[in-house]
Structure 1
């Protein structure tokens, strides 16, 4: 069980991290922190922002899977010694599991609150004279990080304490003795922060890596799309997703299908040379909208090796065999996702690699395919089946290629019976709205597997019980939320446990 982690007033207790040419973040080698002597120049606020991203690395290095995927239907546990993973997959959560502790999220939020308050005061003191772009960048990213954390927390726990003021004098969150806030109020704060951040942030930065690994206007549009789909406001989701799709100079689907290469007849390692595979192996793809950067040189690792590739032992998760069987024999994503029938290697090369120096794979939070499929789902909800099909078609043809023609004898996508052939299109058009959404969700399941999306998709579309009930006995809607860690409640008695776990 984790102890509640204190929200620090600055960066003094963070490890000194020297900036690296690989890193998208500028990190100063700070060794001590005095609040009274800080917040006097823009570089200090920029260093504080780097500290917020550093904390996000710690918060989601494996948790993005544990919260977003481990309770769903795509993973299995190959060994019986991991109590948390077994509890997640078996729907036997208890409030003494470490994963139920939200402290790390509040470390990010606490750092963001410090930045938001102090950069505004710095500007009032004239510190940001002739540096409006830098002020906007720091403030916009801090607002976006705070909003993202609160959105993810409400997905996991429902009502959470809404704290928007910094905690001074090395206090912790419990010094507020704040009870849980109604999620509607938290959602309002999320929307307010995101819309303000969107007005402040640029579309890109001169550093290509920074454009993917820190928040931009497109990153905020992605979070807003996610937020509005979660809130069942498809009209707004369509507005913000369109901003991303229209920005073709910034975002495009990474290439996978190549008419000149039959990857199915070649060694599996050849798939690693595709732009699609490199998106996960190397990071910073043109398809990426917002990802968390990790760097071996800076001593940060994402935990993906232990989750999936196994390191020197056995992986914590393998693919659920029923899910793995959903991929057709010509779906090139199988070569990217797996090294064997169920061994997950999506983020790693299929041949040999250095398990020490290459255990720093980035965590992709949002990419273009995710937004395209959310948009397709929104169009189905609105009754525009043609628009939905055209978006679904883009994802499938990236994998299978365009339908076969006289000049394109594509063996993966027959013009009639293929994944985007005339029969499949007619079938999709004739489906009920609910069944058409099921098709989109299955495509999301295949495309975004092992990226922390599936559980939230099931909850968002109210399919969690119908899908997971037969698998792990989930029957009670109150069981969908995670429990709140007992240590949190002990330290702050005003926190009330979620009903199912009382």
Structure 2
């Protein structure tokens, strides 16, 4: 029954999606059907919102790694037959690659635009009488999804066409044939949507953990805002939004270290029983703020197994040995992240599992540790070194336990949060302390699509070295090489779109 409902919602959502920018169609009869027969009751708007989330899954289910991590200093390609992964690793992208096509983002945006426009008209017609909470939920989530997509797009491609009205027929699709919009204008729309959405949404959806983690809440909007403000180097605003998340009782760091269990002396599969490991393997953990939910039983798969879940010849990526060696021997994240020295199993159980039915692992887009460490960055850059250390200590002590004279993982003098580590951190320059936090983010958030964006927004993409064809070099030499190329099909369909300079 649950599967059938899911499929009905997805089918309904296709009726309200705007015409794809890859097609120049005659008047779309499905869209006409939509406007003649849809948007007549709140349940239909809710179904359209489910369709927007389904489209987000199609947009980011593996691409979150391609956009946010594959070009950084963490992943090693294991299958040289894959043209796309090699181009990402070597930073030799070209506009023929399918990954350079932004169409799927605009499909989510188009769905969101339809919802935003129509629920407001529905309310004006009196269709949301005594249903303010439902109206706010649908409108707030649609605004948040639109903002999230534009934030991803501007990070990946820079300037993009800013479309905020529905595109519903051949007569309107020409409105899409516009040049790329200046990034400042796109940024203004992103923050306007997020600030409008934040007060509309609840902090949670009663006791429904899945709904609270897998759809946007007030905390989810604050997480996107924190990401946005850090990307824009607006540290004061990032401190405001991150503070709201840290005070939100919906979220806490998932447990990992247990003083009663020596995981290093036990079979590796035992680590999968921790809250930390289950957060990735099962989804909907206490730390999750917003994740894309997949379910084999409901007919959706994330594709993560093709990226990480297997050995040579199966997984697209292993971890770079230079990165894996950064972890301390007592770091329990090693047991949770890897099945061997470099084999990535963060999202999968360390024992045997069915590769077909287990290919539905959720994709966590924002979680508490991510926000804590971004806040630690902001505090460091603002001069509050003690505040930054307190946050860094929180993340480390989840891994190593509270520092004490009896803790073999974290001695109170020589351990990761012991007195020596604290004194050393406080004595660092601002830039050096920032490096420490960024390395903690690298280890904590590895394989979650964060590292590339961290390197770009902090300028370290020019100083961080990788080895390509036995030669060490900076990840990026030419700043124009940071952005993705724009797919040639997009430019052919819309000649007003100008290619990014590096790929002309």
TM-score normalized with structure 1 length: 0.93
Deviates more, 1:237-246 or 1:304-313: 304-313
What is the CA–CA distance in structure 2 between the aligned matches of 1:302 and 1:422, rounded to whole Å? 43
Q: What whole-Å deviation, never above 9, does each CA across 1:311-360 have from its counterpart, x for those lacking one? A: 89510000011000001100000000000001000000000111111110
Quickly say closer, same or farther: Cα 1:172–1:291, change in 2 above 3 A. Answer: farther
Counterpart of 2:137?
A: 137
Report how many residues are paired. 479
What stretches of structure 1 move > 3 A for 4+ residues in a row? Answer: 25-33, 170-175, 310-313, 468-473
Unaligned runs of 5+ in 2: 16-29, 467-471
Query: Is 2:485–2:500's contact at 8 Å kept on the other side of the alignment?
Result: yes
Q: CA deviation at 1:176?
A: 2.1
Counterpart of 2:213?
A: 212
Q: What whole-Å deviation, never above 9, does each CA across 1:423-455 have from its counterpart, x for those lacking one? A: 111110011101100000000000000000000
Counterpart of 1:4?
A: none
What is the CA–CA distance in structure 1 between the aligned matches of 2:174 and 2:465, rounded to whole Å? 35
Query: Is 1:49–1:142's contact at 8 Å kept on the other side of the alignment?
Result: yes
Counterpart of 1:448?
A: 445
Query: Is 2:242–2:372's contact at 8 Å kept on the other side of the alignment?
Result: yes
Counterpart of 1:413?
A: 410
Counterpart of 2:477?
A: 475
Counterpart of 2:271?
A: 271
What is the CA–CA distance in structure 1 between the aligned matches of 2:49 and 2:310, rounded to whole Å? 33
Q: What whole-Å deviation, never above 9, does each CA across 1:194-232 have from its counterpart, x for those lacking one? A: 000001101110222100000000000000000000000
For 1:419-434, what aligned pairs fall within 5 Å after superposition? 419-434=416-431
Q: CA deviation at 1:415?
A: 1.1
Counterpart of 1:303?
A: 303
What is the CA–CA distance in structure 2 between the aligned matches of 1:159 and 1:173, rounded to whole Å? 20
Counterpart of 2:435?
A: 438
Query: Is 2:462–2:474's contact at 8 Å kept on the other side of the alignment?
Result: no
For 1:10-25, what aligned pairs fall within 5 Å after superposition? 18-19=4-5
Q: What whole-Å deviation, never above 9, does each CA across 1:337-391 have from its counterpart, x for those lacking one? A: 0000010000000001111111100000000000000000000010000000000
Query: Is 1:69–1:453's contact at 8 Å kept on the other side of the alignment?
Result: yes
User: Aligned with 2:163: secondary structure?
Assistant: coil
Q: CA deviation at 1:28?
A: 6.8
Q: What whole-Å deviation, never above 9, does each CA across 1:230-277 have from its counterpart, x for those lacking one? A: 000000000000001001x20000000000000000000000000000
Counterpart of 2:58?
A: 58
RMSD over aligned Cα atoms = 1.7
Quickly say closer, same or farther: Cα 1:290–1:26, change in 2 above 3 A. Answer: farther
Query: Is 2:78–2:316's contact at 8 Å kept on the other side of the alignment?
Result: yes
What is the CA–CA distance in structure 2 between the aligned matches of 1:129 and 1:99, rounded to whole Å? 44
What is the CA–CA distance in structure 2 between the aligned matches of 1:376 and 1:390, rounded to whole Å? 8
Query: Is 1:89–1:472's contact at 8 Å kept on the other side of the alignment?
Result: no
Counterpart of 2:385?
A: 385
Q: CA deviation at 1:465?
A: 1.2
User: Aligned with 2:290: secondary structure?
Assistant: strand
Q: CA deviation at 1:169?
A: 2.2
User: Aligned with 2:456: secondary structure?
Assistant: helix
Counterpart of 2:128?
A: 128
What is the CA–CA distance in structure 1 between the aligned matches of 2:412 and 2:209, rounded to whole Å? 39
Unaligned runs of 5+ in 1: 1-15
Q: CA deviation at 1:310?
A: 3.2
Quickly say closer, same or farther: Cα 1:473–1:203, change in 2 above 3 A. Answer: closer
Query: Is 2:10–2:51's contact at 8 Å kept on the other side of the alignment?
Result: no
Deviates more, 1:350-359 or 1:259-268: 350-359
What is the CA–CA distance in structure 2 between the aligned matches of 1:375 and 1:174, rounded to whole Å? 43
